[in-house]
Amino acid sequence: MFVTITSLELKNPFKFFALSLYALRIIKQLQNTPCIDKKTSGVWTMHYTMTLWNTEEDLKAFAKQGAHLDAMRKSGLIAKQIRILTYQADKLPDWKTAKQKLLTEGRVHNF
């Protein structure tokens, strides 16, 4: 199985409204996928997601289409930085572990 952890740091607190709109569309898309488990966390300008997938193909199919793809294309408008980490695991980690792994092992995209 595959875990993907993502963090998104907003450019400013007012970008939260745009993030919320993107998130609602992405959650709707996610409901129609074979995603096994998901978690979200966030406050102010830092937001995190975790998803668990049976296969890397399922994960990539979700990420490369629909609302998720649209949000990724527009992420530079609202985000200062995005971090992404995907690795093999049987379950989602706790938030403390996820944030540490993301900080030390995640790919960084600055805008």
Q: Which domain holds residue 10?
A: 2-110
Binned at pLDDT 50, 70 and 90, residue 103 comes out as very high
Grouping H, G, I as helix, E, B as strand and the rest as coil, residue 5 is strand
Token output for 26: 């992405």
CATH number at residue 82: 3.30.70.100
pLDDT of residue 62: 98
Phi, psi dihedrals of residue 78, rounded to the nearest 5°: -120, -20
Structure tokens, 25: 């569309």
| Assessment of whether the complete model's pTM goes beyond 0.85 | yes
Please tell me the total count of domains within the chain. Answer: 1
DSSP state of 13: G
pLDDT at 9: 99
